[in-house]
């Protein structure tokens, strides 16, 4: 079992690529080992390809985790010394690369954003591997996130991202994360969803956990950031 953070999102990683355990056992491991973490990554191998099975700290499985995917790729490259460029998730095949010491992940193809208004917040519902609600506000620091974030999360069964536009391509994002049932220091797929709604080519995302970059290229959306062994 190893511990990592990625831009403040905190994970426990279990490498079970040489064995297999039941879903119940996975859930038990998660509940026992993620009390001070946001989620858990299980490293598995299916038909010769590495597979990331992701669980939130509350034991719920999620099809994808953007920051978790960056940790997963870092682990394959730096710890297992596997020179692979892709791995499987429940949101499909994910491509990764390392440059300038940062981990880049090509994010799952987003769904079409649906504009909605709820609890006086106008925003967009879209899926980037997992469901997100993105709403732009004047000042994210003034949001009572554990109050309104929780309410919106329950109503939408989605991760809730409050976004403040600081400049043409810089945003500040706070996320109430489903399955953590609280604010996380950053959310990779939430940062990506927010950048998609902003719709600029290279978006700097400022989160409590640090800086992420979202690159909107002609072949997709890439999430860039660091990984730490803590
Ligand atoms: N809590 C999310 C999964 C983790 C997403 C987040 N940690 C990320 O970096 O994308 C959900 O259940 O939809």
Assign 73 a pLDDT band (cuts: 50, 70, 90): very high
What structural domains does the chain harbor? 2-106 (3.10.310.10), 114-217 (3.10.310.10)
Distance from the alpha carbon of residue 160 to the mean position of ligand 1, in angstroms: 10
Matching residue, tokens 């709604």: 197
pTM over 0.95: yes
**124-168, pLDDT tens digit by residue?**
999 999 999 999 999 999 999 999 999 999 999 999 999 999 999
Distance from the alpha carbon of residue 137 to the mean position of ligand 1, in angstroms: 21
Neighbours of 199 (CB within 10 A): 10
ipTM > 0.90, yes or no: yes
The finding on whether 67 has its CB within 6 A of some atom of ligand 1 is yes
Distance from the alpha carbon of residue 161 to the mean position of ligand 1, in angstroms: 11
**30-44, pLDDT tens digit by residue?**
999 999 999 999 999
Q: Which of 7, 63, 159 to mutate to test the pocket of ligand 1 (most atoms within 8 A of CB)?
A: 159
């Amino acid at each position: 079992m190893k511990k990592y953070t990625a831009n403040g999102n905190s994970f426990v990683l279990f490498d079970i690529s040489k064995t297999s355990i039941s879903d119940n056992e996975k859930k038990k491991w998660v509940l026992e080992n993620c009390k001070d973490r946001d989620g858990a990554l299980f490293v598995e191998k299916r038909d010769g390809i590495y597979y990331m099975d992701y669980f939130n700290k509350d034991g719920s499985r999620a099809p994808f985790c953007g920051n978790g995917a960056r940790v997963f790729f870092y682990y394959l490259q730096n710890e297992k010394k596997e020179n692979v460029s892709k791995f499987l998730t429940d949101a499909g095949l994910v491509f990764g690369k390392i440059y300038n010491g940062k981990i880049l992940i090509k994010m799952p193809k987003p769904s079409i954003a649906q504009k909605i208004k709820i609890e006086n917040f106008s925003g967009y519902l879209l899926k980037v591997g997992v469901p997100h609600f993105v709403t732009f506000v004047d000042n994210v620091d003034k949001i009572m996130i554990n109050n309104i974030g929780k309410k919106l999360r329950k109503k939408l069964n989605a991760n809730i991202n409050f976004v403040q536009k600081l400049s043409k391509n810089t945003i500040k994002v706070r996320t109430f994360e489903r399955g953590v049932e609280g604010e996380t220091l950053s959310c990779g797929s939430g940062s990506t969803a927010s950048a998609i709604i902003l719709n600029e080519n290279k978006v700097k995302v400022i989160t409590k956990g640090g800086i992420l970059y979202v690159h909107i290229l002609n072949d997709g959306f890439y999430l860039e950031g660091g990984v730490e062994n803590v």
